[in-house]
C-alpha cells in the first residue's frame, strides 16, 4: 500500500501559478497498489450481522457446555463416593446378617432341644472347692504300657 506521486508542476498544487490550468490530470501521475473498496451491499451487511449473531450464540453455547460439564463431573464424583459408601455398608450388612443368622440358629437349636427335652438343664449349681474334693484324680503320666497294634493295609 504504497503510493508514489509525481508532480510535474508543483505550482499547480500549491496554487501559486497564475496561469490557467488546462490539463491538470495529464500533468499529475499517481502510481502504486491501492486497495479498491467496493461499496457494501445490503446482502453483505445482513450476512455479517448473521455471522456475528451466530458467533455470539456459539460462544454462549461453549460457555454453557463447560459449565454443564463441570457440574456433571461434580455429580459423578458425588455418585462415586456414594457408591463406595453403599458398597461398604452392604458388606457390613452382610457380616451383620451372617452373625444374626448364626445367633438365630443357636437360639433355634436351643429352643428345639428344650422343646423335645433332649437335654436337661441343671436344677441347681453345686460349687465345690479343690480342698474339699477327694475324688478328683490328677492325670498322671502315660506309662510304657501302650502297645503297638499292627494294622494290615494302610
> Computed from CA positions of residues 102, 106, 107, 108, in that sequence, does the dihedral angle turn out positive or negative?
positive
Distance CA(54)–CA(70), nearest Å, equals: 24
C-alpha cell of 119?
A: 437335654
What is the mean predicted confidence (pLDDT) over 36-63? 93
pLDDT tens digit sequence for 115-151 = 766 666 677 777 777 665 555 555 555 555 556 566 6
pLDDT at 43 over 70: yes
Residues 6+ apart with CB under 8 A from 34: 1, 3
Amino acid at each position: 500500500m504504497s503510493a508514489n506521486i509525481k508532480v510535474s508542476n508543483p505550482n499547480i498544487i500549491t496554487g501559486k501559478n497564475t496561469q490557467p490550468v488546462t490539463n491538470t490530470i495529464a500533468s499529475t501521475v499517481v502510481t502504486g497498489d491501492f486497495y479498491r473498496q467496493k461499496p457494501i451491499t445490503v446482502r453483505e451487511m445482513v450476512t455479517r450481522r448473521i455471522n456475528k449473531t451466530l458467533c455470539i450464540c456459539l460462544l454462549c453455547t461453549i460457555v454453557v457446555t463447560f459449565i454443564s460439564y463441570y457440574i456433571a463431573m461434580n455429580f459423578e464424583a458425588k455418585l462415586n463416593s456414594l457408591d463406595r459408601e453403599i458398597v461398604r455398608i452392604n458388606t457390613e450388612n452382610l457380616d451383620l446378617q451372617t452373625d444374626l443368622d448364626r445367633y438365630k440358629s443357636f437360639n433355634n437349636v436351643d429352643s428345639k432341644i428344650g422343646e423335645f427335652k433332649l437335654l436337661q438343664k441343671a436344677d441347681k449349681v453345686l460349687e465345690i472347692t479343690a480342698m474339699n474334693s477327694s475324688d478328683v484324680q490328677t492325670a498322671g503320666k502315660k506309662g510304657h504300657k501302650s502297645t503297638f497294634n499292627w494294622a494290615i493295609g494302610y
